[in-house]
């Protein structure tokens, strides 16, 4: 298996993987257009030429970034791919000097194992919510907000 930056030819598989979980109400769907526009934010894990996991680091502001669109095919879950992706995305945040990384998730135990702590959504700056209007659950979000402060590591 190979963890690498996403490339243009990965978009269709990334979209299918992400939207598979979005169809279950577990994450926001992503359009082909949005994946192309944000492709440089994404990493993928490839196995025998097939994208089996993906995730992105989206910069919100000078002190905050978000891990989003983290998805691992069911048959690959429990093998450390999600943790490897999160670690690589955190490394990216550190490389660019971003001191805090957050996520909105239905998998708080997984993110706690990656060092994140639960926070109150109300404490998040308003700019983090700009994509929420695309969610079918808006404005009644039931995801968990979690934060990792990289300056305290």
Task: Lowest mean pLDDT of 35-39, 53-57, 64-68, 136-140, name the range.
Answer: 136-140
Provide φ and ψ at 20, rounded to 5°: -60, -45
Give pLDDT, residue 122: 75
Residue 108's domain spans which residues? 2-152
d(Cα 150, Cα 138) in Å, to the nearest integer?
29
d(Cα 86, Cα 56) in Å, to the nearest integer?
9
67: left (phi over 0), alpha (psi -120 to 50) or beta: beta
Domain containing residue 26: CATH number: 3.40.630.30
pTM of the model: 0.90
Pairing of strands 50-61, 144-149: unpaired
Q: Does position 153 have pLDDT exceeding 80, yes or no?
A: no
pLDDT digits (tens, 9 = 90+) for 2-42: 999 999 999 999 999 999 999 998 888 999 999 999 999 99
DSSP 55-114: EEEEEEETTEEEEEEEEE-GGGTTSSHHHHHHHHHHHHHHHHT--EEEEEES-HHHHHHT
Domain count across the chain: 1
Give pLDDT, residue 126: 53
Bridge partners (DSSP) listed for residue 2: 46
Q: Does position 45 have pLDDT exceeding 90, yes or no?
A: yes
pLDDT digits (tens, 9 = 90+) for 97-140: 999 999 999 999 999 999 999 998 777 755 555 565 555 555 55
pLDDT digits (tens, 9 = 90+) for 84-100: 999 999 999 999 999 99
How many helices (H) and strands (E) the chain has is answered by 4, 7
């Amino acid at each position: 298996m190979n963890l690498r930056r996403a490339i243009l030819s990965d978009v269709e598989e990334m979209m299918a993987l992400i939207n598979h979980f979005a169809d279950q109400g577990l994450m926001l769907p992503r359009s082909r257009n949005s994946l192309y526009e944000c492709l440089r934010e994404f990493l993928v894990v490839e196995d025998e030429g097939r994208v089996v996991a993906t995730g992105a680091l989206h910069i919100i502001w000078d002190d905050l970034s978000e891990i989003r669109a983290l998805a691992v095919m069911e048959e690959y879950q429990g093998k450390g791919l999600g943790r490897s992706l999160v670690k690589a995305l955190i490394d990216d945040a550190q490389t660019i000097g971003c001191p805090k990384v957050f996520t909105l998730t239905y998998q708080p135990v997984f993110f706690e194992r990656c060092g994140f702590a639960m926070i109150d959504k109300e404490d998040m700056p308003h700019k983090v919510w700009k994509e929420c209007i695309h969610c079918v659950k808006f404005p009644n979000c039931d995801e968990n907000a979690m934060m990792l402060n990289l300056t305290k590591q």
